Amino acid sequence: MKSPLSLHLVLLLVLSAGWTTPSQGASLRTELRCQCIKTISEFIPVKQIANVELIPEGPHCPTVEVIATLKSGMQVCLNPDAKWVQIIINKILNGASSRR
């Protein structure tokens, strides 16, 4: 059974496809491999984050990937199990729901 977080991430990806600007590298990648080799759990202040890209698990990768583009232009892979990352994802989901 898939976890509720995975289902929420898929929902977010579908809902946000029409109103988010994809970061460098396009949001729907065509590579058939994981984008994140290493993830970080350390807190990053939200003010430093320009964009968050959620890539659901699938044939390309067995895990959910969360890629944050910082305002500096650097991209980092976030640990989707980190509590602060889950809070940000939930806020994005709630924002996507209220925009419909």
DSSP string, 53-74: EEE--BTTBSS-EEEEEETTS-
The parent domain of residue 80 ranges over 4-99
CATH of the domain at 71: 2.40.50.40
Which pTM does this prediction carry?
0.62
Greater confidence (88 vs 11) lies with 88
- For residue 32, pLDDT over 60 is answered with yes
Per-residue model confidence (pLDDT) at position 14 = 43
Phi, psi of 92 (to 5 degrees): -65, -45
Per-residue model confidence (pLDDT) at position 97 = 64
- For residue 4, pLDDT over 50 is answered with yes
Q: What is the dihedral of CA 14, 18, 78, 65, to 10 degrees?
A: 40
- For residue 99, pLDDT over 90 is answered with no
Task: Report the distance separating Cα 53 and Cα 18, nearest Å.
Answer: 13
Average of per-residue pLDDT values in the chain: 76
- When divided into structural domains, the chain yields a total of 1
- For residue 17, pLDDT over 60 is answered with no
- For residue 95, pLDDT over 60 is answered with yes
